[in-house]
Amino acid sequence: MKKHNDNQSLIPLTKLSKFDPIFKFILIGAAAYTLLMLALILFAVGEGSKEIFQNEGFNFLTNTDWNAVPGRESFGALPYIIGTLVSSGIAMAIGVPISLGIAIFLSEIASTKLKTSLSYIIELLAAVPSIVYGFWALFVFRFWIVDFVEKPLHNLFGDSLPFFAKTPFGLDVFTAGIVLAIMIIPIISSIIRELLSVVPNSQREAAYSLGATRWETIKIAVLPYAKSGILGASIIGLGRAIGETMLVTLIIGNATGLNAIPTSLFSQSQTLSSLIANEFNEAASELHLSALIGLGAVLLLLTMVINVVARLLVYKMVKTSNPGGRI
C-alpha cells in the first residue's frame, strides 16, 4: 500500500514529458520488427516452395534425380541433404577439437598480454569474408590438400578403404569440409572462450587446492561446468557450416543428381545452399525455381532447429552460472 503511494508521488515527475510514450512506442516497434522479419522469412520461403511440394509432395525430400529440362522436370533434395551433412560433419570433426584447444589456451593458459593479441588475430580470421576463403581455397589451399593429404591417403588406403577410393582432385567434400572447419573455428572458439570466462574462479581454486595440475583443473572443474555451453557453441558452428554458400560453391565440385551423393571422401558433391547459388539465376522454369526455394525451405528448417537448440543450451549455461546477473 505504501509502495503504491510512493509511485503516485512519482507520477508528476515521469509525466514531465509527453514524448515519453511516443518514444516507447517507437522502441517497441523497432523490437517488433525482429519478429516481423522472422514471420516474413517463414512466409516467403513457404510461399516460394509451395509449388514444388504440391507437385512432388514429400517425395521431394527422398528423390535423388535433378532434371530441369522443361517437360521432363523431376526434382529431389536427398543428395544435397546428404552432401550438406557430410561436408559439415567433416568440418565439425576437425573444427570443434581445435576450437576447444584455442579457447582453453586463451582463457586458461595464456598471459593477459598474449591473450589480447591472439584473440584479436582470431577475430580477424572471423572477419575474412567467405568468398575470399573460397577464392583462396580454389587457387591455393586445394593444391596443398591434394599434394600433402589426399594423395598420400589415397596411395596408402585407396584399395582397402572405400573412404579414400576415388582419385583425389581437390574439388571434393573433403576439401570443402576442411575449409569450412577453418571458417567456423574462430566463431566456435570465441564463444567457448567467453563461456569459459564465466566459470567462477572458486571452481578453479577448489581444484587447485586439492593438488590438481592446470590440465586436471581444466578437466575436472572448468570443462564440466561449461559443458552445455560448449555443446551450444559447437551447434552454432554447425549451423554456420550447414548454411555456408560461397566457399562451398567454389570447391565442392558441383555435382547434381545421383552423382552428388558422396561415395568417398574424394568425390564431388553439392550442398543445399551451393545448388541454390549455382542455379538460381538460370532457373529454367517456375517449377525449377520453386524446387530451389524448396531446398531453401529444407535448409531453413534445419538451421532453425539447430540454432534454437544451440541458443537454449548457451542461455541455460549463462543463466545458471550467474544467477541474477545481467549477461
Return the residues of window 149-208 that contact another protein according to CB under 8 A: 182, 185-186, 189
Cα–Cα distance for residue pair 15/11, rounded to 1 Å: 6
Write out the three cell numbers for 305: 532447429
Q: Which stretch binds another protein (CB under 8 A): 85-93, 114-122, 149-157, 202-210?
A: 114-122
Q: Which stretch binds another protein (CB under 8 A): 71-79, 121-129, 198-206, 221-229?
A: 121-129
Extract long-range pairs of 301-305: CB within 8 Å, 24+ residues apart.
302/84, 302/242, 302/272, 303/239, 303/242, 303/243
Burial (Cβ within 10 Å: 0-12, 13-18, ≥19) of residue 116: exposed
Closest CA to 81 of 60, 56, 52, 50: 60
Q: In this structure, what is the dihedral angle of CA atoms 233, 238, 239, 244, given to the nearest 10 degrees?
A: 130
For Cα atoms 234, 235, 236, give the angle at the middle one, nearest 5 degrees.
Answer: 90
What minimum distance in Å lies between the beta carbon of 239 and another protein? 5
CB of 266 to another protein, least distance (A): 21
317 binds another protein (CB under 8 A): no
Q: Where are the alpha helices (DSSP H) in the chain?
A: 2-14, 19-56, 78-104, 112-127, 130-136, 142-144, 151-157, 173-198, 201-209, 214-217, 227-243, 246-251, 272-279, 286-321
Range in contact with another protein (rule: CB under 8 A) among 19-27, 71-79, 192-200, 221-229: 19-27
The reply to whether 113 sits near another protein by the rule CB under 8 A is: no
CB-wise, 53 or 105, nearer to another protein?
Answer: 105
Asked if 93 is part of the footprint of another protein (rule: CB under 8 A), the reply reads: no
Q: Which of residues 246-285 bind another protein (CB under 8 A)?
A: 246, 249-250, 273, 276-277, 280-281
Beta bridge mates, 75: 66
Q: Of the two residues 108 and 158, which places its CB atom closer to another protein in the complex?
A: 108
Segment interacting with another protein, rule: CB under 8 A, options 12-20, 71-79, 195-203, 255-263: 12-20
Pick 49 or 269: Cβ nearer another protein: 49
The residues near 82 (Cβ < 8 Å, ≥ 6 apart) are: 260, 261, 262, 269
Q: How many amino acids of this chain bind another protein (CB under 8 A)?
A: 93
| Residue with Cβ nearer another protein (173 or 242) | 242
Q: Which of residues 40-59 bind another protein (CB under 8 A)?
A: 40-41, 44-45, 47-48
Sole window of 59-67, 69-77, 92-100, 201-209 interacting with another protein (rule: CB under 8 A): 92-100
Q: What is the C-alpha separation between 200 and 267, in angstroms, rounded?
A: 47
3-class state of residue 235 by DSSP? helix
Near another protein in 207-226, by CB under 8 A: 213-216, 218
Provide, rounded to whole angstroms, the least separation between the CB of residue 271 and another protein: 10
Q: Is 124 in the site for another protein (CB under 8 A)?
A: yes
Count of other CB atoms within 10 angstroms of residue 49: 22
Give the whole-angstrom CA distance, residue 278 versus residue 139: 19
Closer residue to another protein, CB minimum distance, 202 or 281? 281
Any contact of residue 143 with another protein (CB under 8 A)?
A: no
